[in-house]
Structure 1
Amino acid sequence: MKAHFLRPGKLLPALLVAALGACDNSTSTDYDPAAHASVNGSVQSGTTPLAAYEIHLYRAGSGLQELVASTSADDDGAFNLSFAIQPGDTQSVYYLVAEDPVNGTAGHYDVSLAAALGTAPQAGMAVVINERTTVAIAYAMAQFLHDDVQVAGTYPGLQNAAATTQNLADRQTGQVGEVLANEPNGLDTSTLRTFNSLANMLAACVQAQAACEALFTNALTLGGGAPANTLEAMRNVARNPWQNVGALFALAQTAADYAPHLAASAQPVAWTLAVRYIGDGPLGQQLDGPGNVAFDAEGNAWIANNYEFSLDPAAQGICGGRQVMKLTPTGGTPPGAPYGNGGLYGAGFGVAVDAQGNAWVGNFGFQGASCQNDFLALSHSVSKFAPDGEALSDRDTGIVLEGLSMPQGMNVDQQDNLWVVGCTSNSVVKLPGGDPQLAQNFDDLGLQKPFDIAFDSRGHGWITSNATGTVVEVDNDGKQVGEAVSGPGIVRPMGIASDSQGNIWVSGSGVLDPPCPTPNPDDILIRAVGENGELNDSAAVTLIRTEGEARTVSTFGRTLAGPERHGLRLPWGIAIDGNDNVFIANFAGQRLMALCGVREEFCPPGTATGDALGSDDGFPSDALTRNTAVQIDSSGNVWLTNNWIIDAFSNIGRDDSHQNNPGAHAMVVYIGLAAPVKTPMAGPPRRP
């Protein structure tokens, strides 16, 4: 079998490569005017230098990538590159590819390793290219690595993806990145071990051509095509993590260059990388019960948070959180975050970002069981924050909206109107253009415990009515369209989302009873479904197709007797990616579930709409706890809220009840798993 990584001359035949006259043997394209940067690097497999490897530096953006400079590693695997960069260019992404000098020969599996430099490289950068940095770029930039490993993408998704590589592998040392190496990741979850096993999978092939056959015959494209080289192989694993897991795991077990790795008894269900984000520092931004997340135009994550912070689930007097959290696209803390002083109290599922970049948060009134605050008096408002975190609502009351009580889901439509669902007021409030003075409360829609709202391609809103087991459609004036939609899978519905084709997807929990008007219930389940939701035979996702007032309802439920959609345990939030595939958060079972959407060409061959996307078990991870929301960013990362701890219902009725502070403390991000979505969201998902 022969596969080839395209040579620079084949890749860009019209590219002019000129010598810089530097003291090394690199070449670079000539820019005028120009600044200069340089890289002092090494290429290695594990701790073994890779002599004579050909090193190519590329610049990528929204168009075709460009070759910037080339050189060769010496006998110790070391290399130096000097190259020109355009002054003021802060958006181009630079990355290195190291190729085996015998690539392209008959019968040889082509070995290509890589490392991302990010944007605006500087003089004297130190870089190690190895299997870890290759896995990092293959996962974080999976949605931007195209055929023949061409890299291209729009701002800010591509740039944020390149920055995310540093969370996985430190490009300066080739070691595990700081975020992945330390708490709340590190040895607290299996993700670090999975990452090192992926690196070992590559190392086996890099060090012995005989091992490459297992990689190249199992790390395939969605359509079953073989990779051209090892970088493309790892990209395929990242995009299709359910594929040939056993064979790839066996290959990973044949190398031990990177540790700690997965034990022989710990074969994963899928090759996903789920990383916890909390912000900078040991406690980060002190998340306690993150309920939902919305992204701004730069890819920053604005997070609604239930409670005041404490790591003790039995802590007394834990009241509603009074801050909105904001994480950078790579999980760090931006200046001043978290932000308060906007009248915020006990946010739930409601958070949205408007076209101006303002963040809106619903004040649900969440608080611990032993808090003595009058939550009913604090749950009639929303809070508003400027893009820099400045509070734009009253510091004591927020923006009080007449008729609204205990807001949950909220969303912005295509006309930049904000809509807020009142779970206790059984209504939905519209703020035209985000103006509270023009607010309209629609309370005649037959809603009972409404929970979430989404907008289709016509700008119509669709609202889940949990207690009635229905979905209600309204036009842009708030008038009901047709009859409320019901179906066998719309049982205790929670989250709702639209796809790019104008269809509506509903998350049917089967058993969840939203905690309104009581924000600290002893339980929120109408019947027992087992600790992991394994007994929930009502878990389902429903697709509603519309033609005017005519609707076609399709139910995709979990079957207890068979494996179908076994990863649907306790569905809550739901999101659609840029390929219209469907992702579901579970409040039990510690797994993300994914279904094939209406565009079946983006699903594995033979997979139909509503089938599990690759794995009927979903994508389990011990990084997850009890998840309410799932959203997708512009880099293709899938974000989930670790809302409550696993044992949130322990010690009910006692002073040390975990309902005093059931909140969990992290966001969990599946790196590069989905097709990117343009943010902020307004209506159906759009590709960037």
Structure 2
Amino acid sequence: MRRRRGVLLTAALLAQLAAGPSHAAAPAPHGGQPDGQRGVVRSGDAPLGGAEVTLYRAGDGAGAAPRVLARTRSGRDGRFVLDYRRPGDPRAVLYVLADLPGPAGARGGDGQGPPQGPVTLAAVLSGAQAPPELVVNERTTVAVAYALARFTGPQGVAGPRPGLQNAAGIAHNLADTGTGGIAATLADPPNGALTSTMAEFNTLANLLAACVTGGACEQLFDLARRPGRERPRDTLRAAVDIAHDPGHNAAGLFALADTTPRYRPALPAAPEAWTVALRYGGNGREIDGPGNIAFDAEGNAWVSNNYRYDADPAVPVCGGESVLKFTPTGRDAPGAPYRGGGLYGAGFGVTVDARGSAWVANFGFQGSGCPIDPTPLERSVSQFAPDGTVLSPPEGWRAGGIVQPQGLAADRSGTVWVANCGADSVARIPDGDATRAREVPTPALHKPFGAAVDPAGRLWVSGNGSDSVQVLAPDGTVERAVTGGGLRRPLGVATDSRGNAWVSNSGILPVPCGDGTAGDLADAAAAGDAGARPGASVTLIRSDGTPAPEPFTGGGLFLPWGVAVDGDDTVWVANFGGHRVARLCGVDLAACPPGFTTGQPISPPDTGYPSDGLERNTGLRIDPSGNVWLANNWRTVPVRTNPGGHELVLLVGAAAPVATPDLGGPGRP
């Protein structure tokens, strides 16, 4: 009896395969004829004949089983044709697996399962226009493994909307399924030769090639195996495991990849971690000093922008007068960027409320040499409908004692909160009705900055100038003040699913509100680059307001700024220096490597997850696909006339997805 290959199938799917293609039972859309998709399976330029090629429709929901739409086998030239009937749902995610046989008698990683082929190559058919000929090779497999890392499990690919659909689109930003080459987004600026990501991506493809044609499958599976997890049984699963734990065995994996240098350019040396950092530059003339990011229900990113765009850092720039909105694949949303409604020099404050409206805090940022007096313009928030229609008046919403607003947060009831960095207070906007906003004094805070709502609807606000955090009840009543626990020049705040707060301690960075200036911030950042980083850490504050006795350090913490908690309660931290991201074990120890404790670094202890695509990062957020988004807020060497960075950066598939918008704690989608 002929053996079947394909590690990602359950017994039910195997039964489906044995019964033959299921497309015969599927109705053709509008009574039409079956669709056909031509393709070729390759390793580099070499065709792979005899591969069992199967087209699936991904499971629509967590735990849902994928469905087989067609099956065939590649010829000696690697080519195949899949005849199927396209699902009626235009957002259905379709993907292809090409399974090749392994050594006779090969079995699964536990040695007990049914015989398995060690080579599984993959490509996503959805998320972009189908090519005339679909190429399935190591590059397209790496793209699937990273972009869909959080949706690929024992049964195959499945997950909830919109994260799964968005992830399919992002796969096409990495590999071109029509050529098997590097996709334009990864090949061109601000990626391409400007960062090492393209070379890293090719090196990952070489790593799979070491198994596909180099015979080093057992080495690959041993090195890719995550601590405490089952050993991967094929190349796709090995790549997925690397995406989940990119710092594990990084040097050993590089050495194996170097044995089969099929794709070029490749890395010349081992990375600290195999994170894939993809830059988004928008239309190339709109991002200048992105401060923070907020996601709507569809996973679109709303981004605050410090400055008016200018590519020349020597040209004095005034405050940004637009809010950016990008699709999950980095394109401008229809009509974006959006203007008006009082926008000027937005900083760290942007959020999306329960009705889908976007709110932006007008801090008044501008470069030195701008002739505008920002004082009248730094006292409002702006509001936009989901489609970008301006909802705030031309001068912005000004009630609630707003002065130099920074962090924003929204809760499930519709309330929006504003941290008034220049007024030592917060503004509470009930039901998103800015005409009813009122100011709430926060006596324990000086320079209120970061803001986050917990699952109970309480607000947590950091005081950058007071080394403290204040907790407010949903109605605005001041509940408690928190000091100690290592709080030192705190900036970002995030809450987890259990109501705990995680606070990033920059240690030395003074925010430029009140009596502080952007020059003070730049000087402190330069001192941090030179090694003066006392107090750089993360503080855990329990839901009852009790801080952990000692702050958490390591994992690449450098000048911590933005912080977010993913769907596994794992903690992610951006740094305003050092070109790296830190990842810490959260309160759900089951999601951490075996033996880890809360706060222990998961990212490499000295370097974190580094990338030359990162600059000075402020905002960090996680989307419904599990991508970690970061804002390249300032350039590495900021020029005070125009210090702004010009990119957003994604760590593709690195985190557990979260439901959006963020209305209190990292809910799973």
Q: Counterpart of 1:136?
A: 143
Deviation at 1:32, TM superposition (A): 2.4
Q: Which amino acid aligns with 2:51?
A: Y
- The residue correspondences of 1:299-318 to structure 2 (distance < 5 A) are 299-316=299-316, 318=317
Which one of the candidate residues 202, 211, 215 is aligned to 2:208?
Answer: 202
How far apart in 2 are the matches of 1:102 and 1:349?
Answer: 52
Kept after mapping to 2: 8 A contact 1:4/1:229: no
From 145, 148, 169, the counterpart of 2:152: 145
Pair 1:8–1:250, CA change in 2 (3 A): closer
Post-superposition shift, 1:313?
1.3
In the alignment, which residue of structure 2 is the partner of 1:277? 280
Decide whether the 8 Å contact of 2:447 with 2:514 is kept in 1.
Answer: no
SS in 1 for 2:252: helix
Q: Secondary structure at the match of 1:383?
A: strand
Q: Is the 8 A contact 1:382 1:399 kept in 2?
A: yes
Contact 1:510–1:536 (CA<8 Å) still a contact in 2? yes
2:56 counterpart residue number: 58
Q: 1:100-135, CA deviations, whole angstroms, 9 ceiling, x for partnerless residues?
A: 04577337761000000115976x742100000000
- Maintained 8 Å contact 1:511/1:526: no
Contact 1:445 1:480 in 2 (8 A): no
| 8 Å contact kept, 2:102–2:117 | no
Instruction: Calculate the aligned-residue CA RMSD, in Å.
Output: 2.1
Q: Which amino acid aligns with 1:228?
A: R
Equivalences for 1:488-499 in 2 at 5 Å? 488-499=485-496
Superposition deviation, residue 222 in structure 1:
4.5
Partners of 2:95 and 2:79 in 1: how far apart?
A: 17
Given candidates 638, 645, 665, the residue that maps to 2:628 is 638
For 1:663-678, what aligned pairs fall within 5 Å after superposition? 663-678=644-659
State the 1:400 CA deviation.
Answer: 1.6
Bigger mean CA offset, 599-608 vs 675-684: 599-608
SS at match of 2:219: helix
Task: Please name the residue that 2:618 is paired with.
Answer: 628
Letter in 2 for 1:77: G
Superposed CA deviations along residues 133-170 of structure 1, whole A, max 9, x for unmatched, are 0000000000000125x111000000000110000001
Q: 2:354·2:411 contact (CA, 8 Å) conserved in 1?
A: no
Contact 1:269 1:619 in 2 (8 A): yes
Q: Following TM superposition, by how much is the alpha carbon of 1:386 offset from its aligned partner in structure 2, in angstroms?
A: 1.2
Distance 1:6 1:195, change over 3 A: closer
Q: Report if aligned partners of 1:534, 1:589 keep a CA contact under 8 Å in 2.
A: no
Q: CA deviation at 1:342?
A: 1.9
Instruction: Tell me what 1:545 maps to.
Output: 542
The alignment covers a number of residue pairs equal to 652
- TM-score w.r.t. structure 1 length? 0.91
Match of 1:167 among 163, 169, 173: 173
Distance in 2 (CA, whole Å) between partners of 1:622 and 1:9 is 40
Q: Does structure 2 conserve the Cα–Cα contact (< 8 Å) formed by 1:546 and 1:552?
A: no
Aligned amino acid, residue 206 of structure 1:
V
TM-score, normalised relative to structure 2: 0.94
Of the three residues 467, 477, 483, the one matched with 1:479 is 477
For residue 123 of structure 2, what is the aligned residue in structure 1? 115
1:456-475 matched pairs, under 5 angstroms: 456-475=454-473
Unaligned runs of 5+ in 2: 108-115
- Corresponding position of 1:320: 319
Per the TM alignment, residue 68 of structure 1 is displaced from its structure 2 partner at its CA by 0.9
Partner Cα distance (2:637, 2:586) in 1: 33
C-alpha distance in 2, partners of 1:169/1:430? Answer: 46
Residue aligned with 1:168, SS:
coil
Q: Distance in 2 between matches of 1:130 and 1:554?
A: 51
- 1:593 paired with 2:582, answer yes
In structure 1, what is the equivalent of residue 182 of structure 2? 176
TM-aligned CA deviation for residue 521 of structure 1: 2.6
- Answer yes or no: is the 8 Å Cα contact 1:29–1:67 preserved in 2: no
Q: Separation in 2 of the partners of 1:222 and 1:578?
A: 20
C-alpha distance after superposition, 1:274-310 (max 9, x if no partner): 0100224xx1x52000000000011100000000111
- What's the CA shift for 1:401? 2.1
What letter corresponds to residue 296 of structure 2 in structure 1?
D
* Other-structure match for 1:268: 271
Deviation, structure 1 residue 480? 1.2
Matching residue of 1:578: 567
Q: Which residue among 608, 611, 618 is the counterpart of 1:618?
A: 608
Structure-2 change in CA distance of 1:528 and 1:291 (3 Å): closer
Q: 1:451 to 1:336 in 2, by over 3 A?
A: same
Q: Secondary structure at the match of 1:139?
A: helix
The 2-side partners of 1:403 and 1:112 are apart by 60
1:428 counterpart SS class: strand
Letter in 2 for 1:409: G
Output aligned runs, 1:553-564, within 5 Å.
553-558=548-553
Q: Distance in 2 between matches of 1:275 and 1:323?
A: 24
Answer yes or no: is the 8 Å Cα contact 2:568–2:656 preserved in 1: yes
Q: Does 1:411 align with 2:380?
A: no
Percent sequence identity is 46
1:678 Cα offset (Å): 0.2
Write the distance in 2 (CA, Å) between the matches of 1:70 and 1:109. 17
| TM-superposed deviation, 1:523 | 2.5
CA distance in 1, matches of 2:167, 2:524: 42
Point out 4+ residue stretches in structure 1 off by more than 4 angstroms.
6-9, 16-19, 119-122, 525-531
Q: Which moves more between the two structures, 289-298 or 223-232? A: 223-232
**Cα distance, 1:204 vs. partner?**
1.2
CA contact (8 A) 1:383 1:399 kept: yes
Indicate yes or no: 2:608 matched with 1:608. no
Measure how far apart 1:52 and its partner are.
1.1
| 1:127 match | 134
> SS at the partner of 2:367?
coil
Measure how far apart 1:446 and its partner are.
Answer: 3.2
1:149-298 equivalence runs, <5 A: 150-209=156-215, 211-263=216-268, 266-280=269-283, 283=284, 285-298=285-298
State the Cα distance separating 1:84 from its structure 2 match: 1.2
Aligned pairs for 1:639-658 (under 5 A) are 639-648=629-638, 658=639
C-alpha displacement at 1:534, in angstroms? 3.8
Q: Separation in 2 of the partners of 1:170 and 1:8?
A: 26
> Does the 8 Å CA contact 2:135/2:180 hold for their aligned counterparts?
yes
Matched with 1:562 is none
**Which residue in 2 is equivalent to 1:378?**
377
Matches within 5 A, 1:69-84: 69-84=70-85
Measured against aligned partners, the alpha-carbon deviations of 1:564-604 in whole angstroms (never above 9, x if no partner) come to x0511101110000000000010010101110001111111
| Aligned residues of 1:410 and 1:421 also touching (Cα < 8 A) | yes
Q: Report the secondary structure of 1:180's partner residue.
A: helix
What is the CA–CA distance in structure 2 between the aligned matches of 1:621 and 1:533, rounded to whole Å? Answer: 19
Aligned with 1:553: secondary structure? coil
Name the amino acid aligned to 2:393: D
- The answer to whether the Cα contact below 8 Å between 2:508 and 2:534 also exists between their aligned partners in 1 is no
**Compared CA separation, residues 528 and 429, structure 1 to 2 (3 A):** closer
2:667 corresponds in structure 1 to: 686
Amino acid paired to 2:492: G
Question: Shift of the alpha carbon at 1:73?
Answer: 0.5
Distance 1:441 1:162 in 2: 44
Name the SS for the 1:490 alignment partner: coil
1:365, 1:519 within 8 Å by CA — same for their partners in 2?
no
Amino acid at match of 2:251: G
Q: Which moved more, 1:442-451 or 1:48-57?
A: 442-451
SS in 2 for 1:487: coil
Output the amino acid matched with 1:199.
A
